[in-house]
Copies of this chain bind each other. A is one copy, B any other.
Amino acid sequence: MKSIAIDIGGTTTTYGIVDDSGRIISKDSFLTRGPESLEEYLHLLKDGIRKMLSQADSESEIAGIGIGAPCANYITGEIDGATELPWPSPIPLKKIFENEFGVPVVVANDAKAAAIGEMQFGAAKGIRNFIMLTLGTGVGSGIVCDGHLLSGARGFAGELGHVSLSDSKMRKCNCGRYDCLQNYCSASGILETARLILKESDTASPLRDIPDNELSPKLIYDLAKEGDAVSVLIYEKTAEAIGKACASYAAFSDPEAFVFFGGVANAFDIMEPTMRKTMEENILFLYGNRIKLLQSTLNEADAALLGASALVFETLSK
């Protein structure tokens, strides 16, 4: 079985043909903001897919199309309110692609596609209850219960990046509220932690010689690996926030594992001990010492396409 997978990102749109073993048969991409209108964008995308299908001689074997995109709703099949994209909402993706290609189309936001991708092809293979946390520009999540992605009453289940961690109103979130998980564990959250720690202490650190606009989670990670105490502390604070959040989330869905993906999750190796310690210190005894913390095993460059394709296989297997 094969699927067409589409990943619509703020910068790049990638599409490809993926089989049900997770093999990417072909893929291509273009800049999302290249085309001047949504119409032109869709034309370019459909055209690219048609060419790819005819070259791969695969048209007859395509079971469906999976699309991962910001603010894409699994229930309505629409993109609604994605500030990362230059077009007005809603965009009825499911309808547009079903009309064009005559196969089932499944739409989900990036984090939910990632959760299904991880279950089909990655670290969550064989795990029927887990929570996926994508720690990138923002923090997304997908909750899988009994082998199925929670969608909720209107497709908005699993916005764990916007669960508030504290009542101290320390960090304002772009959602208008305070102290969301995202404010601590996204790329910008970890940079804010870095700035605070640098300001509040005078411990020497190579970080002090780096201009603020050149700071990145990757750079801090590299310094932490080299033993820079400040960088280590920055990731420790981040890991504490994640561990505390996981302790709280466990009481919802009693997961077997948390799976982490994204830029900040690339520091999983140095965060894991503190994440686990803080989670166990804060967790209800029922869940103690049995929840796995796992890093995604999908190649970062392919994960979005694999997630989008997994949406198709998961939905068809229901």
Contacts and interface: CB of A to CB of B under 8 A. Distances in A.
A301 interface: no
A159 B256 contact: no
A162 interface: yes
A150 interface: yes
A157 interface: yes
Contact of A167 (B156, B166, B176): B166
Interface residues of A, number: 41
Interface centre among A148, A152, A155 (most CB of B within 10 A): A152
A153 B167 contact: no
A146 interface: yes
Contact of A145 (B154, B157, B166, B255): B157
A103 B272 CA distance: 47
Given A157-B145, A253-B152, A167 B164 contact: no
Given A129-B152, A151-B146, A251 B175 contact: no
Nearest to A81: B286
Given A146-B151, A285-B176, A160 B251 contact: yes
Contacts of A285: 175-176
Contacts of A151: 146, 254
Interface in A144-184: 145-146, 148, 150-160, 162-168, 175-177
B160 A252 contact: yes
Given A167-B166, A167-B168, A252 B143 contact: yes
A128 interface: yes
Contact of A256 (B129, B153, B167, B254): B153
Nearest to A154: B254
A116 to B, nearest CB: 16
20 contacts: A129-B152, A145-B145, A145-B150, A145-B152, A150-B253, A152-B253, A152-B254, A156-B286, A157-B252, A157-B253, A158-B251, A158-B253, A158-B254, A159-B254, A160-B252, A162-B284, A164-B248, A167-B167, A175-B284, A175-B285
Closest 4 CB pairs between A and B?
A: A152-B254, A129-B153, A153-B256, A156-B254
